[in-house]
Amino acid sequence: MTSIDAPASLSRSTASSPAAGTDPSGARTARSGTGTRTAPSGVDPAELHGPVLAWFDRHARDLPWRRPEAGAWGVMVSEFMLQQTPVVRVLPVYEQWLARWPRPADLAAEPPGEAVRAWGRLGYPRRALRLHAAAVAIRDRHRGDVPSDHGQLLALPGIGEYTAAAVASFAYGQRHAVLDTNVRRVLARAASGVQYPPNATTAAERRLARELLPDDEATAGRWAAASMELGALVCTAKNEDCGRCPVADRCAWLLAGKPAHDGPPRRGQTYAGTDRQVRGRLLAVLRDSPGPVPQSALDAVWDEPVQRGRALDGLVSDGLVEPLDGGRYRLPLT
């Protein structure tokens, strides 16, 4: 992959005539190989690319899904697992998963319940079922190889816009805007001057992310990974370390004095006492058993019968648990 040189700092001249690198309206412009483009945010994309890519070269973590041997399947598995789950929890499960199922066809040959069992305590276990369904589709539609086409990736079960863009970018070096929580936070602060992005991804964020993509495909892939890593390690949701940030001198939020978030309240996540906790305990019983378990074994892990019953019904409805005759339950076989 190629890199680009770190550009000069942003010019903040207030002269009456437009400066070089601006259009007559005063908006910043970015030069590509075919001409000049204007960033709607007023940020010159190139003035972010160089410092962030140079920082990434020095500070990127050595993660197994970033290594060449991971391949497209390793990238896809990591993207499913990393959704709402920290890297430190994903690493051991990821390595066990790839050791057991090094190709999509290997996973597709097993019952979906085995995927749920191997998912362990990563949380949100429907991701395991979706990954299994994607593996079946890859085996049946694509001769066992993760497709490189963005549209074909989107057509796989359980894959949305983010995961399709991430696999196409990280595994195949294509030019796509990859917008996870970390990237959205970096762009919100550096380019938009706000502390946090909206609760849900907006069309304006997608436009900004596309505008800030480097023109070169290989560099665009590195930019996606680098901006994601910057959000994970430096531009974090809490206790951001601006002193280590490679674009602190041009960050719109920092230059504005780090104004506090004034949008809708940010959603927090609770776990203790929720149906999610109950579901986790019920699934743990089933994962730890080689065969079906009686109702009494499930009753023993949560005292409150109404909530326990509701959680179990939800697991059955989601396809994570199969009810059997005689009040027994098991992980799904089909």
User: Which residues in 301-310 are b (16+ Cβ under 10 Å) and which e?
Assistant: ebeeeeebee
CB-based contacts of 307, cutoff 8 Å, min separation 6? 275, 278
d(CA 6, CA 295): 63
| Residue 79 falls in the annotated catalytic set | yes
Dihedral (CA of 246, 250, 254, 259) sign: negative
Counting Cα atoms < 13 Å in the Cβ hemisphere of 241 gives 8
Q: Write out the two tokens for 312.
A: 């179990």
SS3 37: strand
- The type of residue at 257 is G
Distances in whole angstroms, Cα of residue 218 to Cα of each of 31, 88, 175: 17, 28, 7
In the block, which residue shows the tokens 């506090």? 260
Q: Which of 79, 229, 240, 322 is catalytic?
A: 79
Which of the 8 DSSP states describes residue 103?
S
**Strand partners for 42:** none
| Residue 112 backbone dihedrals phi, psi, to 5 degrees | -60, -25
Distances in whole angstroms, Cα of residue 314 to Cα of each of 14, 115, 125, 328: 60, 18, 12, 16
Q: Cα 314–317–321 angle (5° rounding)? A: 85
Q: Mind telling me the catalytic residues?
A: 79
